[in-house]
Structure 1
């Protein structure tokens, strides 16, 4: 099953016998909460999910968006109507990062049928609603471990033995600027692979063969172990999703640069070269 769904496919499935649960995960890095945008208009039946409080734990030593406690995450998903045997479609305002975070968490926690609306809300061609639904509680119980997850030591090791992709903007990778974290640069051995290059001008993912070619050019060979990190584990989930579309399994270093750079004992590389 493809991990993304087009707006036309979603419109058809929503009118069918087994409509998916819809989750609205509008979120902007450093911006206001997405709830007001949700209330101004959302896909009919969609439930708002807050990335900062429901798809992440409290910021701290694990980074700005550490993984949520599985029990708390499961409770949030059940409140949103998610059950183990119901399909789920997640979307955001169009950038795809928030939706990909929800996709990754649900898949990591064992849900078998989760897709991202390709292009987000901007791609939707149907009507929007201001009605806030009260879904019947679902029965989803997280069983973490279905997708690969790395800690800082694992990311450091894989940077030497496999392919560790840095999904942040190239200038942050090089250390030219660092608007958020303690220091700029990258994990030694990591390869720059900005998330923005996985999509076209319309915000939709590039075709699978184009993504496969892109990642092959970055070093993803058939027998290469691949992992991704970003600033805080959000845009990195988007890159894991792009790799999934390309047919390449990849782990996520969820703590990412916000965790790595907070520890002065960890090495930092700068400039365009991995090392």
Structure 2
């Protein structure tokens, strides 16, 4: 399945006889709730999705900051968004793709045909395409979601993974090395992991690098078609962006949803340095 759709491709798809459903997943650590930004301007008909409350099951810190929601909770949210069985979906955020990638991974996990708008809202505005204001309240949908469509691993799997393949840490280098830790109780990384910052998946324009460029990037980290790859980050959000980039490069990777925020709360072994 194709990972990305460009602003011009999406504009054409919205004018077709079977337009995709649009989900606005604007989110950041600094501003987790993007509803105000959504109301100020969004793609026509896009429904706002709250990452913290609809794309995660926050509560027990031992499970990490953004553990996966149960299937039935995600299905209830998808019905609130107006989704029906067979709908194609496009997800977007402000432009960096982190929030959108979390929605992309979860919906792919649930069996939905979904793509990420490359460059997000910023790319749409740059292309001078139409924008609406206010909130969107769709009629409830009746979608039935599946589960287990994308590979996911637990903490014990992550601990053993470097002995069988590559475990990529998608956080910034200073967090990986343990020099700083702004979010979690312990600094460092999972022993045996390799640092591969998510920020290096995109160009200065905010668009994903090309497939060839991403293949070269990941090959430089030791990824080849025979490599078993798993990815984690701080809380399982930006790791989904890394998995999308790997898929663009032709590599299937597993997500460790609990990520460092779960690992750090469980008192597991920690490595520091490069």
Q: How does 1:147-162 map to 2 (within 5 A)?
A: 147-162=150-165
- Tell me, yes or no, if structure 1 residue 128 matches structure 2 residue 165: no
Runs of 4+ with deviation above 4 angstroms: none
Tell me the equivalent position of 1:54: 54
Q: Once the 2 structures are TM-superposed, how far is the Cα of residue 135 of structure 1 from its aligned partner?
A: 2.1
Q: Secondary structure at the match of 2:103?
A: helix
TM-score normalised according to structure 2 size:
0.96
Give the gaps of 5 or more residues in structure 2: none
Q: Once the 2 structures are TM-superposed, how far is the Cα of residue 139 of structure 1 from its aligned partner?
A: 2.5
> Does the CA contact (< 8 Å) of 2:21 and 2:83 recur in 1?
yes
Q: How does 1:17-36 map to 2 (within 5 A)?
A: 17-36=17-36
Question: Could you tell me how far apart the structure 1 residues matched to 2:135 and 2:227 are?
Answer: 45
Give the gaps of 5 or more residues in structure 1: none
Encode CA deviations 1:100-143: one digit per residue, 9 max, x unaligned. 000000001111x1000000100002111014333232232222
Cα separation, partners in 2 of 1:159 and 1:56, compared to 1, 3 Å: same
- Give the counterpart of 2:184 among 181, 185, 205: 181
Encode CA deviations 1:15-60: one digit per residue, 9 max, x unaligned. 1111000000000113251000000110000000000000000232
> Does the CA contact (< 8 Å) of 1:45 and 1:132 recur in 2?
no
Tell me the equivalent position of 1:107: 108
- Tell me, yes or no, if structure 1 residue 139 matches structure 2 residue 142: yes
Tell me the equivalent position of 2:66: 65
The aligned length equals 270
Cα separation, partners in 2 of 1:32 and 1:149, compared to 1, 3 Å: closer
Question: Could you tell me how far apart the structure 1 residues matched to 2:213 and 2:59 are?
Answer: 36
Question: Could you tell me how far apart the structure 1 residues matched to 2:188 and 2:135 are?
Answer: 43
Encode CA deviations 1:48-101: one digit per residue, 9 max, x unaligned. 000000000023221000001211111101111222311100000011100000
6-15 or 216-225, larger mean C-alpha shift:
216-225
Tell me the equivalent position of 1:43: 43
Cα separation, partners in 2 of 1:32 and 1:62, compared to 1, 3 Å: closer
Q: Secondary structure at the match of 2:13?
A: helix
Question: Could you tell me how far apart the structure 1 residues matched to 2:53 and 2:137 are?
Answer: 19
- Tell me, yes or no, if structure 1 residue 268 matches structure 2 residue 270: yes
Question: Could you tell me how far apart the structure 1 residues matched to 2:144 and 2:163 are?
Answer: 36
